[in-house]
Amino acid sequence: MTTTDTGARASTPTPSVADLLASSGPRPPRPTSTSAALSFGWRALLKIKHVPEQLFDVTMFPIMFTLMFTFLFGGALAGSTGAYIQFLLPGILVQTVVMITMYTGMTLNRDIEKGVFDRFRSLPIWRPAPLVGALLGDVVRYTLASTIVLLLGLVLGFRPAGGLPGVVIAVALLLAFSFCVSWVWTMFALMMRSETAVMSVSMLVLFPLTFASNIFVDPATMPGWLQAFVEVNPVSHLVTTLRSVCDGAVDTTALMWTGIWSVGLLAVFGPITMRLYNRK
């Protein structure tokens, strides 16, 4: 390099940050709450793309649960697997999807421990966007699990009297309820110190709700004290709603209670989760 070149370069002023910002053109508009939430939902789906093992719980578990309970209990409870699948499938659909909602909290806790959400909160975006986006991404997983259960049920002999419209409405109700339930696990994710703790508490809550319900048997065969719990169990209301919708005759009482539970869970745990998130 010559002396002339060195002197010319030394005399060139270094542009300031203000000059760089001015030359970069107008500032892009701030993202809306919807676009921000959808962006984080897409991020959740990209994580599945890079780590496909995350789909194990929404592919293998539905198949395992459906086959296991159909062939274990079908002959004893209904006389044949074909008769039992008509009763069981809406219930096993609810159990499968509701059980995998706990992975929402586990994934969120993992991101928090890695410091990812600290960076998200520093961005000029709608504050709940990272949480809502993660939940929206999980709705895709719930849809995949529901599709697998329904296809397997059709192979085993499930024939809904309500036809395709009844099945679509039933899945939509299940996804809406699962989205509201997921806010419970996001709260646990912000409260617990580890992913393992979130899983343990979630299982402690989910097992009584799913097994002490009307998923597998008619509550009339249960002792009175257990019937009292099953009748107020939100999972039982959801299962009754899905069975009636699939049969083409909607149980309005069960549907009303399912809506009340869904709105109540979202109204209670949504604000609590956001308060914890803002203080985390």
Give the pLDDT confidence score for residue 262 in this predicted structure.
Answer: 95
Q: Yes or no: say if 34 and 129 are a contact pair by the CB < 8 Å rule.
A: no
- Helix (H) or strand (E) segment spanning residue 148: helix 129-156
- 224-241 pLDDT, tens digit per residue, is 899 999 999 999 999 999
Average pLDDT in the 37-48 region?
Answer: 81
- Record the pTM: 0.81
Per-residue pLDDT band for 108 (boundaries 50, 70, 90) equals confident
Average pLDDT over every residue of 108-135: 80
Is 220 a residue whose pLDDT tops 80? yes
Predicted local confidence at residue 279, as pLDDT: 77
- Predicted confidence band at 8 (pLDDT cuts at 50, 70, 90)? very low
| Residue 4 clears pLDDT 60, i.e. is over it | no
Average pLDDT of the chain to the nearest whole number: 84
Element (H, E) at 179: helix 163-191
* Out of 47-51, 180-184, 246-250, least confident range: 47-51
**Helices 81-100/163-191 angle, 10° precision:** 40
DSSP H/E element including 56: helix 56-78
Share of the chain above pLDDT 70, in %: 88
Q: Token digits for 61?
A: 């578990």
* Dihedral over alpha carbons 113, 115, 116, 121 (to 10 degrees): 120
Helix then strand then coil, in percent of the chain rounded to 5, is 80, 0, 20
Three-state DSSP at 216 gives coil
